[in-house]
A and B are shown apart, each in its own frame.
Chain A
Amino acid sequence: MKKTIAAIALGCAAMFALTSLTACGGGDDRESNSVDALVENYGYQWEDTSAHILNEKGAQEISFRIYSSKNASAKDYNDMDIMQTLYEDTNVFVEWENVSESIYAEQKNLIFSNTNNRPDAIYHAGMSASEIIRYASRKVLLPISDYLEYMPNFSRILEERPDIRKQITNVEDGKIYSLPRVEEMGLLQNPNLLFLNKNWTLEAIEAGAVSGLTAEDVKDGIRLTAAQMESLLTYFLNNDMNGNGQNDERPMTFVYNNWQGNQCDLYGMFGLNDNTDHRVIVDGKVTYTVLDDRFKEATQFINGWVEKGLIDEVSFEQTQDNFLANGKGTELYGAFYWWESETVVSDPENYVVCQPLVGPNGDQTICVSNNPEVGTGEVVVFAGTPNVEVLLTYFDRYYDPMISAQINYGPIGIVYEEELDENGMLVQKELPEDKTADELRLENAPLGICYLSDYAWENVVHMEPRARLRLERLEAYATPYVPAGVQPVPNLQFTQEELNTLTLYETNIVNYINQHLITWLRNGLTDADWEAFKTELLSTRVGLNEVRKVYQAAYDRYVAEN
């Protein structure tokens, strides 16, 4: 009895902790000023985006508390050069409270529960659309759109880019409750590229294992049919390609259902633009690839490769870390799907990029993923924050292209030279000897809200060399194979009622599809399995139709006035 009561009670202990914390909250004794008073007493100005926001008195007397999670290798935000630069440029004093990313998910609920002592804003808030709409209806979050006049950079962005405005505007009341992160490099839509081991392929061609391929074809952009790929992989499987005397070659590998380097490109062989949500826009219609009969054909075909051992079954089991670790050292991978080859294998020059595979029926297309380049819910501000206009003007500076670049990549003086080049663009400094570019960036850049789009790439900052290389590859071997009319599903905003439908069905649908898909890919499926699957999926119990209608309605709203 006692044990059960304890078990019940433990479940509530967290709740108790929350409520008791509320009691100890210190409250807020800062004074809120009207805009007129701010202008008069503290020299508040918002129109000139390069001048101080407050005068010296304001710097002394007005301060803000911002809560933020930070990457494990990042400096404390209070000590970051870019934050100090921002303070000097604006005179707005911000006290950062940092926690590590790993505990933020738990902390978030505690912050919201602690009604008397909330910070003024959360940076890296990671709020989902559903959280925002529910907190907004409880008047916990500040409607930022009511204060757009104090945010010149941000309101200009919203005017230029109605699509971004649509993605962050709450459809219930038409207001904006969060600040977005926009980093548009065009890299996210196609998260996979197919890489093929050059030397192994040449060996296979020499041995006459593949028909219709010559040694000259083995270069970046090689076009392979499914049959040719199959003979190549078979050759890799049956021969000791890396010459270490062990049968440890993995002909083709990827990380199943990962956000990058997943199995979805394989479905392109059958003309499907699949992704891990299996949801894509085709000619303005929200389409589920798992309802298409070509999906069955493709799954059966891929299963054939799995059963022959051409696709290593570890692909369904391994994590991203295992996948990356096994690529180093002795070459094991014949072909693999990933973002880029440089991070996967020790000698990327031994691998060539392929075009999407040409399927048995001649289809050649590629995965279109729904990874958005606009991150919504990156910063939220609590309702009732004193002098909130000043804070929003301060956040507005983050959208200045020059600041955005430094927020995202690291500050001038550490990552970039003090002097701009002749085109007025930032110049990358030489790396210190003991650090890689990634380490330097993570240590000195807070990331978070920024606006980096075409204008910034042309006028402010060069893309990183790695990003540029990938962009070139995508332009050559991925984007041309996306059919016209096929688009990723953007960030959509839902009504409360639609959200209720989604919470009711969506988790179950994802589980239902994933459970079946992995079994089929490994063990095969019959036509009867497929029909039963489709019937069940569309039934009201699982409810795919209901969910599809919600997405369609939200998408129609999204495109309505664009």
Chain B
Amino acid sequence: MAKRLSRDAEAADLPAEEISGTGAAAEAVAEVGQDAKDGLWTKFKKTDFARNFKRNWTYLLFLIPAVVVTFIFAYIPIYGLLIAFQDYMPGDSILHGYWIGFQNFEEFFGNYVFWNLMGNTFLLCILGFIIGFPLPIIVALMLNSTKNKKLSKVLQTLFNGPHFISLVVLVGMLYLFFGRYGLVNNIIESVGGERYSFFLESGAFRPMYILSSNWQDFGWSSIVYLAALSGVDTAQHEAATIDGASRFQRVLHVDFPAIAPIVSVMLIMSIGGLMGVGYEKVLLMQTDGNLETSEIIATYVYKQGIKNLRQGYATAVGLFNSVINLVLLVIANTCSRKFSENSLF
């Protein structure tokens, strides 16, 4: 599997080479242009780019829709970020709007909720990451080393189930189970404890949020690791068994190294998305009682942008959040390249 993966990586690298090739070719063309014009086309045909292009142009054709779609829907809209520097109202022209410079940013940094928001967002994400990242790896390793393959398949299906529950339903379930007259509190009371208002205690918000998210997604996230594990050469396992390795040692020394490259890629990706937690679930779980811990950047952006109709301000806050994400991603990628030679870019 590891081999196949590296081959995939090579395949994925190809277009990148093509693109860098374009730059080289353009320079070559420019140089040639100064010599003689009629030699230009012949010289161009001899470049690596032209040869590669001729050989692969049909495959490159398949790339066009992806490039066009990405360009239209991911790159062109970036100019909308300009409204972060404006007092924007829907209907204003984005290019000729009401410019106010960095006022939106200054207001956010000077706002007394700023550090609280940053702290809440960071804590919620980092705790979720610490629990949520290793869990699917452990589950995948466990499922993979289960002797009973049928049981392992059944478990895998069961673990995937919660992923398909919509957020609204999930939070509804949380209210049913953890509400003041919900199942959990009924059990607590029947064993002589005091009813506990999970939704009103700021201390209960993070555990509830993180554990329910992980409960929902650990099975789903383990799929990618299971796929990697299915490619481990059985010969290695047999060799390890002959050498007297226990099952746990085999997991540790055969299975885990096999998925390590994937783990590091997933690690970089999840660090890149660390601060990018969505607002929907937090907003659904938010009450006055837990606002102290449950107000995060994303919910703040929602409230300012949609409810208070301050889209410029909300965009500024969102932009700031994305910048943090980008910085984290670059740091994670650099570290990963230094220590394990695996990196995204």
Contacts and interface: CB of A to CB of B under 8 A. Distances in A.
Contact of A112 (B90, B199, B303): B90
Contacts of A16: 73, 76-77, 80
A316 B288 CA distance: 9
A13 B319 CA distance: 14
A12 B83 CA distance: 10
A3 B291 contact: no
A12 B72 CA distance: 12
Given A5-B74, A519-B289, A138 B90 contact: no
Given A9-B73, A257-B288, A515-B292, A4 B329 contact: yes
B91 A511 contact: no
B285 to A, nearest CB: 12
B309 A12 contact: no
B187 interface: no
Interface stretch (B27-35, B160-168, B269-277): B269-277
A113 B91 contact: yes
B197 A316 contact: yes
Interface range on chain A: under 10, 10 to 19, 20 to 34, or 35 or more?
Answer: 35 or more
Interface string A509-525: 00100110111001000
Given A11-B322, A514-B291, A113 B90 contact: yes
B112 interface: yes
Interface string A234-256: 00000000000000000000001
Contacts of A11: 80-81, 315, 318-319, 322
Interface string A10-21: 111111101100
A435 interface: no
B287 interface: yes
B104 to A, nearest CB: 11
A256 B289 CA distance: 11
Interface stretch (A27-35, A127-135, A186-194): A127-135
B62 interface: no
Nearest to B328: A4
B325 interface: yes
Interface in B149-200: 179-181, 195, 197, 199-200
Contacts of A135: 89, 91
B77 A507 contact: no
A4 B325 contact: yes
Interface in B291-336: 291-292, 295, 303-304, 306, 308-311, 315, 318-319, 322, 325-326, 329, 333
A18 B90 contact: yes
Given A1-B345, A19-B94, A504-B107, A130 B309 contact: yes
A361 interface: no
Given A7-B325, A131-B309, A519-B289, A112 B197 contact: no
At the interface, is chain A mostly helix, strand, loop or mixed? Answer: helix
A15 B200 contact: no
A376 to B, nearest CB: 16
Given A3-B272, A508-B112, A15 B83 contact: yes
Contacts of A4: 272-273, 322, 325-326, 329
Contacts of B75: 5, 9
Contacts of B211: none
Interface in B211-260: none
Interface in A500-551: 503-504, 507-508, 511, 514-515, 517-519, 522, 541-542
B77 A511 contact: no
Interface residues of B, number: 53
A6 interface: yes
Contacts of B77: 9, 12-13, 15-16
Nearest to B300: A507
A319 to B, nearest CB: 9
Contact of B308 (A9, A12, A110, A507): A507
A131 B308 CA distance: 9
B344 interface: yes
A256 B90 CA distance: 35
Nearest to B325: A4
B92 interface: yes
B61 interface: no
Contacts of A105: 306
Given A8-B319, A12-B77, A317-B180, A518 B91 contact: no
B200 A313 contact: yes
B113 A508 contact: yes
Interface string A110-147: 10111100000000000010110011001010000000
A467 interface: no
Contacts of A114: 91
A424 to B, nearest CB: 45
B195 A313 contact: yes
Contacts of A514: 288, 291
Interface string B70-88: 0001111111110100000
B200 A518 contact: yes
Which of A5, A110, A130: most chain B Cβ within 10 A? A5
Nearest to B89: A134
B197 A317 contact: yes
B111 interface: yes
Given A16-B76, A511-B295, A8 B81 contact: yes
B291 A511 contact: yes
**Most B Cβ at <10 Å: residue of A19, A317, A514:** A317
A130 B318 CA distance: 23
Contacts of B329: 1, 3-4
A112 B311 CA distance: 13
Contact of B288 (A14, A109, A517): A517
Contacts of B269: 3
Nearest to B269: A3
A314 interface: yes
Contact of B90 (A110, A128, A517, A522): A110
Interface in B54-75: 73-75
B118 to A, nearest CB: 15
Nearest to B73: A13
Interface in A92-111: 105-106, 109-110
B293 to A, nearest CB: 10
B112 A541 contact: yes
Contact of B303 (A12, A138, A507, A515): A507
Given A4-B322, A508-B113, 5 more contacts: A8-B322, A11-B315, A16-B73, A317-B180, A503-B308
Closest A-B pairs by Cβ, 8 of them: A15-B80, A16-B77, A12-B80, A12-B77, A9-B74, A112-B90, A113-B90, A314-B180
6 contacts: A13-B77, A109-B311, A112-B91, A314-B180, A515-B291, A522-B200
Interface of A: 1, 3-16, 18-19, 105-106, 109-110, 112-115, 128, 130-131, 134-135, 138, 140, 256-257, 312-314, 316-318, 503-504, 507-508, 511, 514-515, 517-519, 522, 541-542
